[in-house]
A and B are shown apart, each in its own frame.
Chain A
Amino acid sequence: MMAGLLTAEWTKIRSVRSTLWSLLAFVVVAVGFSALIALVISNTWNSPGNHPNHLRLLEDPTEVLFGAGLGLGQLAICVLGVIVMSSEYSTGAIRASLLAVPRRIPMLAAKAIVFALLDLVVSAIVVFAVFFISTAILRSHVSITLSEPGVTRACIGGILYLTVLGLFALAIGGLIRHTAGAVATVIALVLVVPPLITLIPGTLANHIHGYLPTVAGQLVAQSSQQPADVLSAWQGFGVFCLWTIVLLGVSGWLLVRRDA
């Protein structure tokens, strides 16, 4: 039964163009921007004023390598995560889906599993592509390898972060059910809310900031602990997972409660 549901969700996700376009945008933006930043750093290596980049590259290489490309590329994952769920409602396909699978939680579970696996595979390709392309570009100036402390963990962490981010967006898509509203909400949570919180003075704001879903989640994708970090890498990832599990739970509960 569950195998049938998983196959069906795979058919659904691969048979609409928005999946292909979102993933293509993710790959192009993430790899493209990372390569661009690496090229800029490489070409200006000896110019005065580039010193901070050298220091950051030595302290936390993956932050520089992943920052721009994945920071922007992750938005495509947010959009796809939302659409996978909200498009069922906006198109009315949810009626066909629920007539076929009236037990709604297994349907949501199958959808989440299939999307997470797809997200995991594509993210793995993107993260390692970003890492190897960027380090290749910078090779003449600095050598960064997977064997350096924290780097392999940061790469795997980046893949896991992007996978959970997709589920986080999917959960919000299920809560809000309108594509535009849900996309706006997710992007606000990822891009807008964290810097706003840091504007509030005091240590409480600093703690709140540290526990925000994506702020906590991104810790696992950086290779070394920064002084301002409230949580350790895996603690942060745990907090992000907890946010996501709670939102998926609420989303599932509402899916069962609400009329389709």
Chain B
Amino acid sequence: MVSVADAPGLVVARDLTKRFGPKVAVDRLSFTVEPGRVTGFLGPNGAGKSTTMRLITGLDRPDGGTATIGGVAYGQLAKPLTRVGALLEARSVHPGRSARNHLLFLAQTQGLPAKRADEVLDLVGLREVANKRAGGFSLGMTQRLGIAAAMLGDPPVLMLDEPVNGLDPEGIRWVRTFMRQLASEGRTIFVSSHLMSEMAVTADYLVVIGRGRLIADSSTDDFIARSSERSVLVRSPDTARLRELITGNGGAVQETEGDGGLVVTGLPAPRIGELAASAALVLHELTPRLPSLEEAFMELTADSVEYGKVEHGKVEHGKVEHGKVEHGKVEHDTGSAS
């Protein structure tokens, strides 16, 4: 690790554990979030993302482990909003209070000037509704108000829990650009999402959890590359012969929708090319494809999904430990009632 543990932008979780009754929501979770990049916090619903963020910000008490921001526990920060900005749940505002008064009281707790409230309202484009009651806001406006509150203390660290939830495409683009810009200023951006496509374009780095445990902690590119699920897109004027050729040599074929392309798994691209050449078959396209982030994610978390079941089969939960995955055994039901 290059960074010093007490750099103001460094977020460190060490063996964080949280139980709700018999259910372990966060299970000895350790990871580091570094400044200057957008770190995506990914996991299926119920994986413990929100709980982890609540533990880091001291809203929930951990049953074990520690979380620090710049080497200091959140509860020990003197003016926390100037160190960490957090958007945890949109519903964190009194509906009867105006946007401006919400930001004003937060500013007063930090000894920040009142004009700071107006500045962040400008920043998120809510100046015109500053004196309107927050209860009348749309979900998108409420999210913007939450982001304004997070930016109030101009903090080096931002933690955002599902910030694009409920936003329209324009709003989503705004948040994405905003996060990238803040990261380029050297801030730490830690953002959770269950939207894989969103993370694929926003996050440089990923912390992936399932069932409260760490599954992966790597750059987005590495995460995708590590996935074993590769495929090759092939097109030929003679689709029927191509299909025969591939299945006859141990590959699996899936037709793309409508345009006659075949997605081949189980055979590498060079091998498909050689097979086609030896059979004198014309190919129009031969493209190796990396899995999408979504596919990589599904593969890695298949055995840690909350409900623990996949279609047509039963999943025995795989052992998942600190960044390594051993795939769970998949026992297919063979029709017999169990």
A binding-site residues for B, Cβ under 8 Å: 1, 4-5, 7-9, 11-12, 15-18, 87-88, 91-93, 95-96, 98-103, 257, 259-260
Contacts and interface: CB of A to CB of B under 8 A. Distances in A.
Interface of B: 54, 57-61, 74-75, 77-78, 80-81, 86, 88-89, 91-98, 101-102, 104-106, 108-111, 149
B63 to A, nearest CB: 11
B59 A259 contact: yes
The A interface, classified by DSSP as helix, strand, loop or mixed, is: helix
A259 B54 contact: yes
Contact of B60 (A1, A7, A12, A259): A259
Main secondary structure of the interface of B (DSSP, over half): loop
Query: A-B pairs with the 9 shortest C-beta distances?
Result: A15-B101, A8-B108, A11-B105, A92-B91, A95-B92, A100-B109, A259-B60, A93-B94, A8-B105
Contacts of B108: 4-5, 7-8, 11
Given A4-B109, A100-B109, A260-B59, 9 more contacts: A1-B111, A9-B105, A12-B101, A96-B92, A98-B58, A99-B81, A99-B86, A101-B109, A259-B61
Contacts of B57: 99, 102
A88 B59 CA distance: 14
Nearest to B108: A8
B92 A92 contact: yes
A100 B92 contact: no
Contacts of B75: 102-103
A146 to B, nearest CB: 40
Contacts of B98: 15
Nearest to A260: B59
A60 B3 CA distance: 75
Nearest to B77: A102
A157 B54 CA distance: 45
A37 B108 CA distance: 45
B88 A15 contact: no
A96 B101 contact: no
Contacts of B54: 259
A177 to B, nearest CB: 15
6 contacts: A9-B105, A15-B98, A17-B96, A95-B59, A95-B89, A259-B54
A7 B92 CA distance: 20
